[in-house]
């Protein structure tokens, strides 16, 4: 694969999603209430802590709903994204909301150069981001390069176990079901680890006519993704010279990741497995600090 093939493919894919997502993503609520936060940032807030007065950069910010929310919590925010169409929507949202946010078009690995070597107090990465990057170690080093001494990383993203899971039909009886009758029996459908959990050089190539938000078809449906195991993520952060300050796993995720298997918890606006949600780590939050 040419070094920049994934960038062009994923950029055009996200360009074609941006207008569709701008019609949803709870934009009307965010504009109607100057104190409103995106559901993602509202979930993150207890672990995010006080960010008042911090210089923050949001990597892979997409159309800026979370970036706007972080600014409303008091940070001076800069958003970075590969997709020019996404940044067009993000700038429009910030302008309509009356919030000053700088947006810069760049892929993640080139962000330190695109931002002219500036350093930040907070690097924030939200849901559904690092799966678009082929090298988690390079991502962690980029984060370290963007942080001032004492600055911190906050990432909540899809759990690599969820990213490796598909719904499968069970074909045979499992002997342990005699003792644990809740194990799915023959003919039942359950979650199985069918995709790679660990980072691999070759990407998963997908072609999805519809995106996760909205009903219109996307103009360019193809994309490339990579999974990264929790151990790989933690080790990359440590090897980049950051100090791990927390790692939390959650049983919920902001989108219906396994349709037909998940139910919406309206209290947190997130989905978890309908049956035995304790089986599946759906997202994780990791925080770290630059020494």
Mean pLDDT over 155-159 rounds to 98
CB-side exposure of 286: number of CA atoms within 13 Å? 27
Calpha distance 134→228 (Å, rounded): 9
Mean pLDDT over 74-88 rounds to 98
Bridge partners (DSSP) of residue 250 are: 283
- Which is nearest to 158 in space by CA: 227, 210, 237? 227
Per-residue model confidence as pLDDT tens digits over 8-45: 999 999 999 999 989 888 899 999 999 999 999 999 99
53 burial level (CB within 10 Å; 0-12, 13-18, 19+): exposed
Per DSSP, which regions of 93-196 are E strands? 102-105, 120-125, 147-158, 165-169, 189-193
Strands 262-265 and 270-273 come out as antiparallel
- Which is nearest to 92 in space by CA: 11, 18, 189? 18
Residue given tokens 């176990």 in the structure block: 161
Residue given tokens 């980072």 in the structure block: 199
- Which is nearest to 287 in space by CA: 256, 253, 242? 242
Q: State the chain's mean pLDDT as an integer.
A: 96
Alpha helices in the chain (DSSP H): 5-22, 27-32, 39-48, 65-72, 84-97, 111-114, 136-146, 160-163, 230-239
Cα–Cα distances (Å) from 13 to 1, 9, 86, 196, in that order, read: 18, 6, 11, 22
- Which is nearest to 111 in space by CA: 61, 66, 52? 61
| pLDDT at res. 4 | 76
Per-residue model confidence as pLDDT tens digits over 200-259: 999 999 999 888 887 788 898 999 999 999 999 999 999 999 999 999 999 999 999 999
- Which is nearest to 83 in space by CA: 19, 175, 171, 154? 19
**What is the band of 134 on the pLDDT scale with cuts at 50, 70, 90?**
very high
Q: What angle do CA 159, 160, 162 make, to 5 degrees?
A: 70
């Amino acid at each position: 694969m040419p070094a920049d093939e994934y960038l062009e493919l994923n950029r055009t894919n996200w360009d074609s999603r941006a207008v569709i997502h701008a019609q949803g993503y709870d934009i009307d609520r965010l504009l109607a209430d100057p104190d409103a936060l995106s559901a993602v940032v509202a979930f993150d807030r207890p672990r995010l802590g006080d960010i008042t007065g911090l210089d923050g950069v949001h990597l892979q910010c997409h159309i800026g709903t979370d970036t706007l929310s972080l600014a409303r919590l008091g940070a001076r925010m800069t958003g970075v994204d590969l997709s020019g169409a996404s940044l067009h929507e993000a700038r429009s949202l910030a302008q309509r909301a009356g919030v000053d946010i700088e947006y810069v078009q760049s892929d993640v690995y080139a962000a330190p150069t695109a931002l002219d070597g500036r350093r930040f107090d907070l690097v924030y990465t939200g849901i559904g981001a690092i799966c678009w990057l082929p090298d988690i170690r390079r991502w962690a080093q980029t984060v370290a390069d963007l942080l001032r001494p004492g600055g911190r990383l906050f990432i909540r993203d899809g759990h690599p176990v969820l990213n490796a899971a598909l719904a499968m039909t069970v074909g045979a009886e499992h002997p342990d079901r005699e003792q644990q009758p809740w194990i799915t029996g023959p003919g039942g459908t359950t979650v199985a680890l069918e995709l790679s959990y660990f980072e691999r050089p070759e990407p998963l190539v997908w072609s999805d006519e519809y995106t996760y938000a909205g009903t219109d078809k996307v103009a360019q449906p193809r994309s490339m993704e990579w999974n990264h195991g929790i151990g790989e993520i933690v080790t990359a952060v440590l090897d980049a010279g950051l100090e791990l300050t927390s790692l939390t796993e959650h049983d919920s995720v902001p989108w219906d990741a396994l349709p037909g298997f998940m139910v919406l918890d309206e209290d947190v606006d997130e989905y978890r497995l309908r049956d035995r949600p304790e089986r599946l780590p759906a997202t994780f939050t990791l925080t770290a600090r630059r020494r």
